[in-house]
Structure formats: structure tokens, C-alpha cells
Chain A
Amino acid sequence: MTTERRPPLDAEFQPDLSVDIGPLRLRNPVMTASGTFGYGTEYADLVDFEKLGAIVVKGISLDPWSGNSTPRTVEVASGLINAIGLQNPGVEKFIREHLAQLKRFSTPVIVNIWGRTVEEYAAVARRFDTEEGVAALEINVSCPNIKEGSKLFGTDLTAFRKVVAAVREATRKPMIPKLAPNVSDIGAFARAAEESGADAISLINSVPAMVVDAKTRRPRLANITGGLTGPAIRPIALKLVWEAARATKLPIIGMGGITETEHAAEFMIVGATAVAVGTATFAEPRTAMRIVEGLADYLRRQGMKSVRELIGSLRS
């Protein structure tokens, strides 16, 4: 652990940005957050995929899913509440139409998966097990926007263990459960992921939230409630990543309101091995790219030759 402060490095020095997420080596620790980068191709004109650590695509289920009615998102102060409802084309169409496009890039693709039952989680994981071009699976146990069971997987420790264990049985791909923030003991979920065979964990998913229009007295979302993301949740996310890091040895992908290089650094300082940029991509599609560049500069200023020195380097 790096506790001392060091003199800055030369401007020409190129710090090592590579990190390991379990068996997965990333060229840098900055990835996109599931649900905010579509299936990647939507951003192909604007973002250089080769500069990203990894691309995490929007949640995929076994069958196509039409999601919620509109309005599906509402902007709030420093945040966005969404209730898209996991709309996706299903695993087969995703593999045929979207994964095929993503394979053209060297950047690892992490596929976010979800199901309504333990069996569905296992089935979609099994389908991806032999699929080239899928570097890892992120398990969405915590999307607050579907009512049929998934919420339980994210906040009930027994159900969480079951689904993680079932996915572990179904695939040898690196497996990354994505944790819900609305639990009383995040450390317990981090440990349960480790004990159930996860290779890493990611957190946090969106924070359950709602907005009402006082004039009409109606909810602002068709789904009534949704998940809050963006800068508003960053301090909450940071605290949960810090707690999770103290509870498990698993690599952590930290996320929640990251819009600047310094935010990414903060998550790594409290123990994340990598970070994901989510809602910020909507306004500035090149945020993740910018943070990759910013991290090298930040490390030089910190006198660190490798980004790995930053992980868990919180000074007391």
C-alpha cells in the first residue's frame, strides 16, 4: 500500500495503466457502464473504442424484452432517474447483430446479463460461455426497474448466492456480479460473491428513487420509481466501494457519477481496481476516453509509475 507522497514524474513518462480483473487483463482501468453505452455501435462515430479499457454493453436476457412505458427517464439536480426496464433484443439477436460488430475491435467486451429466474440467468450465461468476443459476464442482480424477481436477487443474500452460483456452474467466463447499493451490509454481498465463485464485483448499480410532479400530482416516470445515477450518487458509491474493498479480495469495478479523472482516481484510491463511466457518457460521449488520458497525467503528478499503485492507496 502506498501511503507516502512522491515527487512528480517527467511529462514524457508513460505510466503503466494496465490492470487485472481476475483473469482478464485490461489495457487501462476505464470502461463504460452497462446501460449507458448501448451495444457500443451507437457510439462508433464518436468514440475510439481502442482507447477504452473495456466495453460493457446493455443488459441482455434470454428472450427479447420490451421494457417499460414512457416516460422512462427524468433529469434531476446532478442526476438522472431511469426506468428503461431492461429493454433488449434477447441473446440471439444480440450475438448476431451487435456482438458481431464489436468483435472488430480489440477492446474486451463485457456482457451484462439478467434473468427473471435463476434458471434464466444460467441459460443466458451458458449461451455466452462458448461465444468468442465475450471477455466476461457482468451479472445484473440489482436493476430496480423490473418487478419480476430481479430486485430480490440484489438485496436478498440467499437469492444472490443462488444466482451467482448458478451462473458460475454455467460458464467459465470471468463473472462479475453487479451489486445493489440499497443493502444494509455491502460487505456481506461482496463476501458472498467471492464465496460463490465470482472473479470480480462491480458496484454500484443505480439507487432506487422517484420524482413526483407537484402540479399534476403524477409520478414523472411511467414506472413510478426508477434508479438514480450521475454525480448525485458519487459519494454514496464511493463509500460503498470503500466498504466492499475492505470485505473482499476480489477486484472491484467502481462506478457511480464519475465524470472527471479525479473521480476515477477517488474510486481507485478507496480500493477499486477499475472504474466505469456511465451517465456522463450521455452528455459527453468521450468522457471515458478523456479520463484514460487524464489518468496518465494524474499518475505522473502523483509520482506513480503504475495505476496499480493507486488501488487502495487511501491515506489516513
Chain B
Amino acid sequence: MQTQPPSITIEDAEVLRQEPWQGGYHLLVLRAPFIAPRVQPGQFVHTRLTAPADAILRRPFSVFKADGDTLQILYKPVGRGTSAMCALRPGDSLSLIGPLGRGFPLPRPDAVPVIVAGGYGMAALYLLAKTCPRPGLAFFGGATVEDILCVSDFEVLGWEVRVATEDGSRGVHGLVTAPLDAFLANPSRPSTIELFACGPNGMLRAIAERAHHYSLPAWVSMDRNMGCGLGACLTCVQKVRGPNGHAVWARVCKEGPVFDAQTILWEDEA
């Protein structure tokens, strides 16, 4: 069973640090005394930037690390909102709503946790790796070596990390599914595995197919454009198989962003 999210609030977080990271990514360290201690793995915060002035919506970000009253966001400036985020300096304030969404379930104590991540998904899965009762195996995929983000963070936790890059600049040459498939097909692998994935939709769908094929439990964290982040506006909906087998809309911000991979109706995704 997935756990119920704790209560949420609006909090003006103070920017403590802003650091350039590899591959064009940035690390933002925030002091958020209410939200940071309450964040569960897989949850997100909804940020309100004061620029650009004509922005209408908040921007959701997964939480990379949460420690005491601080939390960290790893992000890449891709649009106007995230570009404005780069301008934040220590002492600036950033309004957060959080913690939001339903995160990952508690990992099964009897299963070896296996994480599959693409790009930013590596950061979004760090808190999960940290709370796993035992270290597991992580598969990281990206276009190039610059997109493989936090290998040492996982290794410090005792995790084994296997890497694939599309240009072969690090690890296996190919998609993350290449080393994952080799692992899953290996008869000497642990028989009881639980999969956790975060990354592009195509990758998540590929993981869901593997999980189905090998009858493995799998949890995927979906990424969607969001409006309110609270379940009111119905922007971020995803077709899922409901309790009675019928297709129903689930709100990624509320029922998700983490879903049982087998409930996602991939054909109906946008």
C-alpha cells in the first residue's frame, strides 16, 4: 500500500546555495523548515518564481535531497521558468507548496530494490534509495556522460550503479534498457526484485513492459505539465486502469506522481 501524504503548506523558502552542476544542470539548496522534514521519496514541491512577471503557474520539481530543514532541487534551465530560477541567489526567497503528491511506497523488505532512471530521474530517486532498508542496484541512462548525474551519491549509500549512454561516452553504449535487460535475463539474478523508475515516458513504458513480462512489481514516477499541483485544475491527468478495470483519469499531482506501472494505460497518454 502507498502511504498517505502528510499535510501540505505554502512556505517561503530561503535560498542557501545555487551551484552549477554538470551537463548544464543546477543545484538549488533551500531552507524550508516545514516542508523539508516532511518530504517522502517521490514527492514534489510546487515553486513560484517571481519572474517572468507574466508567468501564471507554479513549476513542479522533485526533491533531490532533504536533510533537516533544507532540501535540494536539481534542475536544468529548459524554459522561461527554469531560466529565471538560475538567477536566484543566496538570501532570495522562493515560495513553495509542498510536500505534494503520493510518493513511492515503502520498499518491500524481502525484495532487492532496482532503480531505473533517465536524466533528472536519478535525482528524483535518490531519497528513495536512501530510505531502502538495503542497498540495491541502479541503472542510469542518458544521452551522454554529462547526463549521468549522481552516481557517487548512490555508491556512498552502498548501491551498485550500472550506466548506459546513447553515445557510448560512459558505460554500455545504448539505452538504459540494454544493461537492464541483460540483468533481468540473467538466471542467477535475485528472484525477488522490486522496480522503481523515473525518467522519460518512453523509458517508463519500457520498464512497465519488462515488469509485466517478468511479473515484477514496478513503480513509475510520471512527469506531466501541472497546473495547481493540488488536484483541482485537472491539467495533469493520466489514463489509468481503475479499481473495476475501467479506464479512468488519475491526477498525476494527487494520485501520483508515482503509480503502479501496471495501472498506467500507455496508449492513452498524451
Q: How many residues of B contact A (CB 8 A)?
A: 29
In Å, the complex CA distance between A87 and B228 comes to 16
In Å, the complex CA distance between A71 and B252 comes to 13
Contacts of B230 in A (CB 8 A): 38, 42-43, 46, 285
A73 touches B227 (CB 8 A): yes
Looking at the complex, which one of B10, B57, B235 makes contact with A46 (CB distance below 8 Å)? B10
Looking at the complex, which one of A36, A72, A284 makes contact with B232 (CB distance below 8 Å)? A36
Contacts of A294 in B (CB 8 A): none
**Cβ of B111 under 8 Å from chain A:** no
A72 touches B7 (CB 8 A): no
**Cβ of B97 under 8 Å from chain A:** yes
When A87-B249, A279-B56 are in contact, do A286 and B233 touch as well, CB less than 8 Å?
Answer: no
Looking at the complex, which one of B54, B231, B270 makes contact with A70 (CB distance below 8 Å)? B270
Chain A 18-46 near chain B by CB (<8 Å), digits 1 or 0:
00000000000000000111110011011
**Cβ of B151 under 8 Å from chain A:** no
Chain B 226-251 near chain A by CB (<8 Å), digits 1 or 0:
01101111111110000000000100
Can you name the residue of chain A whose Cβ is closest to the Cβ of B268? A69
Contacts of B57 in A (CB 8 A): 75, 80, 282-283
B235 touches A42 (CB 8 A): no
Can you name the residue of chain A whose Cβ is closest to the Cβ of B8? A45
Can you name the residue of chain B whose Cβ is closest to the Cβ of A78? B54
Chain B, 5-42, CB within 8 A of any chain A CB: 7-10
**Cβ of A222 under 8 Å from chain B:** yes
In Å, the complex CA distance between A284 and B47 comes to 10
When A37-B232, A42-B230, A77-B54 are in contact, do A222 and B10 touch as well, CB less than 8 Å?
Answer: no
**Cβ of A281 under 8 Å from chain B:** yes
A285 touches B97 (CB 8 A): yes
A230 touches B10 (CB 8 A): no
A36 touches B233 (CB 8 A): yes
Contacts of A235 in B (CB 8 A): none
In Å, the complex CA distance between A35 and B7 comes to 23
Chain A, 40-80, CB within 8 A of any chain B CB: 42-43, 45-46, 58, 66-67, 69-73, 75-80
A38 touches B58 (CB 8 A): no
Chain A 276-296 near chain B by CB (<8 Å), digits 1 or 0:
000101111110000000000
Contacts of B268 in A (CB 8 A): 69
Contacts of A39 in B (CB 8 A): 232
**Cβ of B206 under 8 Å from chain A:** no
Can you name the residue of chain B whose Cβ is closest to the Cβ of A76? B56
B270 touches A71 (CB 8 A): yes
Highest count of chain A CB atoms <10 Å: which of B9, B55, B57, B224: B57
**Cβ of A84 under 8 Å from chain B:** yes
Q: How many residues of A contact B (CB 8 A)?
A: 36
B97 touches A72 (CB 8 A): no
Task: Report the minimum CB–CB distance from B155 to chain A (whole Å).
Answer: 38
B270 touches A283 (CB 8 A): no
In Å, the complex CA distance between A78 and B55 comes to 6
B54 touches A45 (CB 8 A): no
Can you name the residue of chain B whose Cβ is closest to the Cβ of A284? B48
B234 touches A75 (CB 8 A): no
In Å, the complex CA distance between A84 and B228 comes to 13
B8 touches A66 (CB 8 A): no
Can you name the residue of chain B whose Cβ is closest to the Cβ of A77? B54
Looking at the complex, which one of A38, A72, A231 makes contact with B231 (CB distance below 8 Å)? A38
Contacts of B97 in A (CB 8 A): 46, 285
**Cβ of B2 under 8 Å from chain A:** no
**Cβ of B225 under 8 Å from chain A:** yes
B10 touches A282 (CB 8 A): no
Highest count of chain B CB atoms <10 Å: which of A72, A79, A87, A282: A282
In Å, the complex CA distance between A77 and B55 comes to 7
Chain B 148-183 near chain A by CB (<8 Å), digits 1 or 0:
000000000000000000000000000000000000
A281 touches B228 (CB 8 A): yes
Highest count of chain B CB atoms <10 Å: which of A35, A67, A82, A283: A283
Excluding A39-B232, A46-B10, A69-B270, 8 further A-B contacts by CB distance (< 8 Å) are A37-B232, A46-B9, A67-B237, A70-B235, A75-B57, A78-B56, A231-B56, A282-B57
Sample (10) of A-B pairs whose CB atoms are under 8 Å apart? A38-B228, A45-B7, A69-B268, A72-B237, A75-B57, A84-B234, A87-B237, A285-B10, A285-B97, A286-B10
Give the B-binding residues of A (Cβ under 8 A): 35-39, 42-43, 45-46, 58, 66-67, 69-73, 75-80, 82, 84, 87, 222, 230-231, 279, 281-286
